[in-house]
Amino acid sequence: MRKLVYIWLMVCCSSIVEGQSRFGISDFGVDTSKMTIGLYGEYGLGSTALTNRMYMDFLRGNYVEREVLDKASRRLVQFNKAGGDVKYGLYFSKKINTLLGKAGFSYFVNVADRIHWDVLFTDDLFNAIFYGNKSFEGDTAKMGTFAGNFQRYQQLQLGLIKVNENKSIFGMGVALLKGQQFYQINIARANLYTSALGLENELDLAYSTVESDPNSTNMNDLSGWGTSIDAFYQVPYYILQNTKENESDWKGYLRIEASDLGFIRWNDSSRTRLKDSVYHNEGIFIPTGLAVSATWAEDQSDSLKQLLQPETFIGSFASILPGSFHLKMYQANSAGLFVSMGTVIRLFAKYSPMMYLGGGKKFSDKLSIGGTMEFGGYGRFNLGFEARSNLKNYEISLGSRSLGGWLFPMRAGGNSAYISLKKKF
C-alpha cells in the first residue's frame, strides 16, 4: 500500500519548487500588499549511504540493529556524503513610496538562527566502526579521507528589493552574523592494518581539528562575528509559448539567486589541534581463556592517550560559510497549472550539484498543491510535496522534500520538513 502511495504522489504531484524549503530573500518581497510579517522554519538532512532509520536510532539513543546496518552498508560507495541544515526565523518587509526619486522599492529585516553540518567518509570507515576490524584480517582498512564540519550562527539581515517597470526584480541583503559554535575535523590519513590472525594492529593516523571557544557554545555567547551577502535577479520568461503576445496562457520567470556568501571570524580562544602518528598494538591471543593482566589494559590506555593527544594551538581563525547558487525557471498558466525546474550548487559544503523538476496545480486563490523530485545534493533521489493556503490576509505553506525517508526509512536517506506563515497588511 505504501508503494502505491509513493508512486501516486510521484505521478500526480510531479513537483513544485515554488515555496520549497529554501527560504531566501526572494521570499521576502511585497506583492500587492504594503507590508508583510512572516515566520518560517525548516530542517533537512540527507545522505548517499546512511538511512533515515539510522538517523532516528542515533537521535533517540537506540541500539542500531544489524539489519539497519546491513541496509546502509549496501548503499556504500568508496566516498559517501551526509549533511543537513536547520533554519528558522522571522522577517518584516514594507514598501517604500520612493527611494532616490524612484518607485518600486521595498525593504526587509530578517532575523534567523542557522545550523549546518556535513561529512565525507569512506566505506572502510563505516565498516570498521560498525562491524569491527575482523573483516580486514590480513588487509588494511583505509578510513581516510574523512572530513566533517559543524557550525551554528545567528544573523540579522537588512535588504532592498526593486521591482522594475519591465517586471524584472532585483534584491540584495547584507547580514551581520554572530558566531555561536564551530567544529571541523579533517583526517587526511587513517590506515588500520590487521594481521591475518588479528594478533597485530597498526594505525597510521594524521588528522587536524579546528574548534571555536569550547567554553562559549550557548546562543547568548559571542564566539565570533562575520558578515554575508545574498542577492537575486529575476526576469520575465516565456518558454512555453511561441510569442510574448500570447502571454495570457503561459508566463513565468527565470531567477538566479546567491545566498550566504560570507565568513565568520572566530575569537582568539579558538583551538587548532594537529596529530601525525603511528600506533602499534602487538595484540594478544589467549587459547586457554586466561584473563589479561591489569598492566596490559593500562599500557593500551596510555598508548591510545598518546595517540589521541595532539599538539594544540590557541588563536583566532576565519571560516567560510557554505554558500549556494540557485538557478530556477518557473511557468504557470491561466488554468492554474505550474511547472518549475532548476539546479542548486553549494560551495564548501560537500554537496553534489542538485537538479529538480516540478509541477502542480493551483485550485483556487485559497489552495495550491504540488511536490518535488530532486536528484543529487546530500542524497540520490528525493520526492517531496507542498500545500499552500491563503485565508484572508494570511498565507501558510508546509511540506517536505523527503517523502521517501518517511515512507521507506530502511532504504531512503532523506528527512526534512518546513513551514512558513505570513500576514499581509
What pLDDT tens digit does each residue of the chain (425 aa) get?
333 333 333 333 333 333 334 688 999 988 778 899 999 999 999 999 999 999 888 778 888 888 999 999 999 999 999 999 999 999 999 999 878 778 899 999 999 999 999 999 999 999 988 888 878 888 999 998 899 999 999 999 999 999 999 999 999 999 999 999 999 999 999 998 888 876 788 889 999 999 999 999 999 999 999 999 999 999 998 876 655 555 557 889 999 999 999 999 999 999 999 999 887 776 533 233 333 333 434 454 555 555 567 889 999 999 999 999 999 999 998 889 999 999 999 999 999 999 999 999 999 888 999 998 999 999 988 999 999 999 888 999 999 988 888 888 988 888 899 999 999 99
Phi, psi of 221, rounded to the nearest 5 degrees: -90, 145
pLDDT for position 324: 95
Dihedral sign from CA coordinates of 373, 376, 378, 380: positive
- Map out the domains of the chain with their CATH numbers: 2-424 (2.40.160)
**pTM for the model:** 0.87
What whole-number distance in Å separates Cα of residue 223 and Cα of residue 212? 7
Joined grid coordinates for residue 367: 489552495
Question: Which run of H or E residues covers position 405?
Answer: helix 403-407
Asked whether the CA dihedral 212, 186, 262, 169 is positive or negative, the reply is negative
Q: How many residues does the chain have?
A: 425
Residue 35 and residue 46: Cα distance in Å, rounded? 36
SS (H, E, C) 167-236: CCEEEEEEEEEEEEEEEEEEEEEEEEEECCCCCCEEEEEEEEEEECCCCCCCCCCCCEEEEEEEEEEEEE
Could you count the other beta carbons within 10 Å of the beta carbon of residue 132?
A: 11
Radius of gyration of the chain (CA): 26
